Amino acid sequence: MKRELLTALRATLVTLLATGLVYPLVTTGVSLALFPRQARGTLLADEKGQVIGSELIAQPFTGDAYLWPRPSAAGEKGYDAAGSGGSNLGPTSKALRERAQKERDRLQPQSKEPVPPELITTSASGLDPHLSPAAALWQVPRIARARGVAEERVRAVIESNVEGRDLWVLGEPRVNVLLVNLALDRLLGRPAAR
């Protein structure tokens, strides 16, 4: 009995060290060596060097002069990376229908076109930083009005920031909301503060 107990303890200790210490250190080291920017969170900094966000995590934009991301169910107020996750509301959920209707009612006055579904529904993580090109282009009239520029200029900024499929076959074309908003400020100037 004593020998079996010692064997089990040794196996537990070796497994704990291998999977809890060695493996994480090796994978982190390899990631930092091969993909240093991605391993550090793909953080973006402004001209002063201050971090303003990550390409991989959505953040809220509410100003009319900016592209708005999908709604977020991550955390109590949304866009909380520590609370990443979907709402777990199913298709028969009254709360989900009410939330979607509230979003639709908020967005619909902006356009004669129907609101794209992804601007009404949250993503599985609640932190999806991307929109489809169609959902981004749907927002062009609002952004152009708020910035006082022609819609064609805003449309050109969005279209020039469309990311293609990964490896030419995986996923769908998409637009990173943060990158487009930075491009809008860079190319069209920052909107006047209200």
How high is the pLDDT of residue 110?
Answer: 85
Q: What is the secondary structure of 100-123 as a DSSP string?
A: HHHHHHHHGGG-SSPPPGGGTS--
Tokens of 105: 């009612």
Residues 183-192: contacts with CB under 8 Å, at least 24 apart: 183/157, 184/65, 184/66, 184/67, 184/143, 184/147, 184/154, 184/157, 187/153, 187/157, 188/147, 188/149, 188/153, 188/154, 188/157, 189/147, 191/63, 191/65, 191/146, 191/147
Cβ–Cβ < 8 Å for 136, 106: no
Place of tokens 């953040």: 59
Burial readout 82-111 (b: 16 or more C-beta within 10 A, e: otherwise): eebeebebeeeeeebeebbeebeeebeebe
How high is the pLDDT of residue 147?
Answer: 95
How high is the pLDDT of residue 86?
Answer: 74
How far apart are the C-alpha atoms of 182 and 25, rounded to whole Å? Answer: 35
Cβ–Cβ < 8 Å for 139, 62: no
Per-residue pLDDT of the chain (194 residues; tens, 9 = 90+): 899 999 999 999 999 999 999 999 999 999 999 999 988 889 998 888 899 899 999 999 989 999 999 998 888 788 888 888 777 888 899 988 998 999 999 999 888 899 999 999 888 888 899 999 999 999 999 999 999 999 999 999 999 999 999 999 999 999 999 999 999 999 999 887 65
CA 29 and chain centroid, separation: 26
Which amino acid type is present at position 145?
R
Q: Model's pTM, two decimal places? A: 0.82
Query: For 67, what's the count of Cα atoms within 13 Å in the CB-facing half-sphere?
Result: 31
Cβ–Cβ < 8 Å for 84, 125: yes
